[in-house]
Amino acid sequence: MSKRDFYEVLGVTRDADKAELKKAYKRLAMKYHPDRNKDDNTVEAKFKEAKEAYEVLTDDNKRAAYDRHGHAGVDQSAGGGANFNDIFGDVFGDIFGGGRGGRPRGPARGSDLRYNLEITLEQAVHGSKVEITVPKHIHCRTCSGSGAKAGTKPVTCSTCRGQGQVRMQQGLFAVQQTCSTCRGKGTIIKDKCGDCHGQGLLREEKKLSVKIPAGVDNGDRIRLTGEGEAGEPGAPPGDLYVQMHLKPHSLFERDGENLYSDVPIDFATAALGGELEVPTLEGKVVLKIPPETQSGKLFRLRGRGVPSMRGGYKGDLLCRVVVETPVKLTKEQKDLLEKFRGTMKDQSGKHSPKASNWLDGVKSFFENMTK
């Protein structure tokens, strides 16, 4: 049975760094750990698969071998199915400047780019379209990327005769090296393009429209195919990865699909109950506060959170009430509170059960210390 691609196993792109690999592996390890899924016999294989993928891709040497040769480059048990000459021919070809059999390599694909995009919570929740400006290399329009002056074209290198490599005898061994004249391209430019100075590339800023789907979270990436750096003539460009970074919000904190918000209420409303308007991302709603509400109590407003990118449901808004102590009291207000405090005495913790239990715990603590 053939193995799945390691990048596919971890759910990352091929340019993922070690921090992204670690995050992806941690998520899968928690999801498929056998101790957390004792009734599921299929998770052990998935757990081992993720572990193997993580170990290979976080080892620079193994990852390089895997990127070049796939599973055959890192799986010793696959030796029977892999061609020894194919694998090591490429390795020695790279060392001495060429590909397998001394043939010049094909045109290289352009590099991928990353763009860090800051978005608001509202944009992440509702989705949005954002215009960005990306600096990148494009093929020179004057020479179409050839680097040669208009009306001319690159000529075959006379040193390597277009092979990009030269053969050299070193003792008993004959090795191939990258041609120093054309630097492995097989051609040289005699009359350089005046706009790109023979490079074939120009730097420009390109405006792009990025469609942000509803529900994106911090760290999510959107791929724009073909919007990366230009490749060599005849090769496709790379891709652009737009990575989301959520700005802090003045009212809400996000945790996955749920939102949290602190709602200050006055002492009287907490004690007697009442109603107050609270903000959501869709507008105001009325929150009913029952009598004797304690500070820190959470009230859940279902469906007022963030939509799931997988579709089907929305998270909730959890309002955490914070009882606020009144300040700058008038003399009349202070007198009223003094009278109120007097009515609270000698009630054996009837009105403040938490304080009574806490005092009992303190008393017990100090009594145990003296024993």
How is the chain split into domains, by residue range? Answer: 6-82, 253-368
The two structure tokens encoding residue 182: 């054309």
Predicted confidence band of residue 182 (pLDDT cuts 50, 70, 90): confident
Nearest Cα residue to 159 out of 172, 168, 169, 148: 168
- DSSP-assigned letter for residue 161: T
pLDDT, residue 371, reads 64
The two structure tokens encoding residue 52: 């193997």
263-282: b (≥16 Cβ within 10 Å) or e? bebeeebbeeebebebebbe
**What percent of the chain has pLDDT above 70?**
87
- Kindly tell me the sign of the dihedral angle through the C-alpha atoms of 95, 101, 107, 113: negative
* Res. 336: pLDDT tops 90: yes
The tens digit of pLDDT for each residue in 248-266 reads 999 999 999 999 999 999 9
Write down the architecture of domain 253-368 according to CATH.
Sandwich (2.60)
pLDDT, residue 78, reads 40
Asked if residues 298 and 318 have their Cβ atoms less than 8 Å apart, the reply is yes
Domain covering 6-82 in this structure, CATH number: 1.10.287.110
Predicted confidence band of residue 220 (pLDDT cuts 50, 70, 90): very high
Predicted confidence band of residue 87 (pLDDT cuts 50, 70, 90): very low
The tens digit of pLDDT for each residue in 23-63 reads 888 888 888 877 777 777 788 888 888 899 899 999 888 88
pLDDT, residue 112, reads 93
Asked if residues 135 and 203 have their Cβ atoms less than 8 Å apart, the reply is yes
* Res. 297: pLDDT tops 80: yes
Predicted confidence band of residue 349 (pLDDT cuts 50, 70, 90): low
Lateral strand order in the sheet of 253-255? 253-255, 258-266, 317-324, 298-301
CA distance 333 to 112: 67
The two counts, helices (H) then strands (E), for the chain are 9, 15
Query: C-alpha distances in angstroms, 75 versus 14, 72, 228, 275?
Result: 19, 5, 32, 65
Predicted confidence band of residue 316 (pLDDT cuts 50, 70, 90): very high
Residue 139: φ, ψ to 5°: -65, 135
Asked if residues 149 and 143 have their Cβ atoms less than 8 Å apart, the reply is yes
* Res. 170: pLDDT tops 90: no
The tens digit of pLDDT for each residue in 148-165 reads 988 888 899 988 888 888
Predicted confidence band of residue 94 (pLDDT cuts 50, 70, 90): very low
Polymer length in residues for the chain: 371
93-128: b (≥16 Cβ within 10 Å) or e? beeebbbeeeebbeeebbebbebebebebebbbeeb
